[in-house]
Amino acid sequence: MPFDRATVRDLDPAGKAVLVRVDFNVPLDDGRVADDTRIRAALPTIELLVSKGARIILASHLGRPDGRPDPDLSLAPVAVRLAELLGRPVRFCPEVVGTRATEMASELGPGDVLLLENLRFEPGETSDDEGLASDLAALADLYVNDAFGAAHRSHASTAGVARHLPAVAGLLLEQEVSRLSAVAESPERPLVVVLGGAKVSDKIGLVSRFLEIADELLIGGAMCFPFFRSQGIETGNSLCEEEGVSLASDLLDLADRSDCELRLPVDLVAGRDFSAETEVSTLDSNSVPDGWMGLDIGPATARGYAEAISGAATILWNGPMGAFELDPFSDGTRTVAEAVAGADGLTVVGGGDSVAALNRFGLEDSVDWVSTGGGASLELLEGRSLPGVEALGRA
């Protein structure tokens, strides 16, 4: 389905102040950016506005400072890294709104870039406070939302500002919505969806949706254990979300009525403890003995999943197959990651842990689309509307 909102390409921003909501919620380590993936993802929109002579004001959140300043969550280090990536100066404002922010915004010339301090230092950001939204809007003439990772939130800097200024999507937001919507609404078939992670409750909406849409749904990670327990299969000391057991039972019933094949692991790799040094056992079934915890899908499951992935025309992967960060339990996730990277079909990967797995195995450049959104990706794939997108003007 074509993206139906106006985008930054539709603007004539020369000489105008443009407030751009970006997602610079990146990890910091000792005052430096530890992973600049999300900063790089915003560069096309910023560079386009620079080339058109806009006066650019960037706004982002970082972490959860709970509406008050926290020096450890300042965006100052992000301004430094952004300047390096852009190859041009980036001014940093030590406040979000107020006298200093107004002065620094007014001093910008065409092509200049200013980054405001962490939006969540303001208590009104997450409550979509009208006063904060108005003050942010007063800094600019136009508004661009390029923060897909925050598009599922109705915050002052997303839905709020859009009530006051002409509002369009950035290039990243457009791409994210278009790519993910294509998977959920008009995929080339067969569509194979691989879901992992810890909790069924986190992804019940996704499982339900794709049982209606996908041709095969492959489950891994700790979220498989509620499915097993609901069938009377022993799970030992494995992480098993209690509230997920009844949910899993309902999903199995739904799968029985669906044309989608729901596949669960047929073998597992278990450990005595959650540790890289623990005793390890490869189980030839999906039943986990007492005293053991399942920490990865087994080799037979991994081969079967890889075969399904290789035959798909569209592949969506969200969530690891086990504790891939521990070497003895990384093979299942590695096999799936390599299958996704080597697939001939369209490959879309979402979820922070899946992306971390791709990075760990050196495969991040071998898939068609890596989503920057966590909760936003899930909600869009579930078929829910995103407030940050709904607030934008239509094309």
Count CB atoms within 10 A of the CB of residue 394.
7
Return the SS3 of 180. helix
The residues near 208 (Cβ < 8 Å, ≥ 6 apart) are 251, 254, 382
Q: How far apart are CA 144 and CA 71, in angstroms?
A: 27
Question: Catalytic pick from 352, 360, 383, 393?
Answer: 352
Q: How far apart are CA 174 and CA 171, in angstroms?
A: 5
Q: How far apart are CA 384 and CA 92, in angstroms?
A: 35
Q: How far apart are CA 233 and CA 304, in angstroms?
A: 21
Closest CA to 19 of 85, 102, 130, 86: 102
Return the SS3 of 288. strand
Q: Is 352 an active-site residue?
A: yes
Strands of the chain, DSSP E: 17-21, 28-29, 32-33, 55-59, 91-92, 113-115, 142-145, 167-169, 191-195, 216-219, 261-263, 268-271, 280-283, 293-297, 314-318, 346-350, 369-370
Q: Is 375 an active-site residue?
A: yes
Q: How far apart are CA 180 and CA 186, in angstroms?
A: 10
Question: Catalytic pick from 53, 304, 375, 383?
Answer: 375
Question: Catalytic pick from 199, 209, 229, 263?
Answer: 199
Q: Is 16 an active-site residue?
A: no
Separation in Å, CA 370 to CA 6, 134, 176, 190, 301 = 23, 34, 9, 20, 24
Question: Catalytic pick from 5, 16, 38, 120?
Answer: 38
Closest CA to 251 of 271, 277, 231: 231
Q: How far apart are CA 210 and CA 191, in angstroms?
A: 9
> Under the phi-then-psi rule, with left for phi > 0, alpha for psi from -120 to 50, and beta for the rest, what region is 98?
left
Q: Is 199 an active-site residue?
A: yes
Return the SS3 of 259. coil
Report the catalytic residues: 38, 199, 352, 375
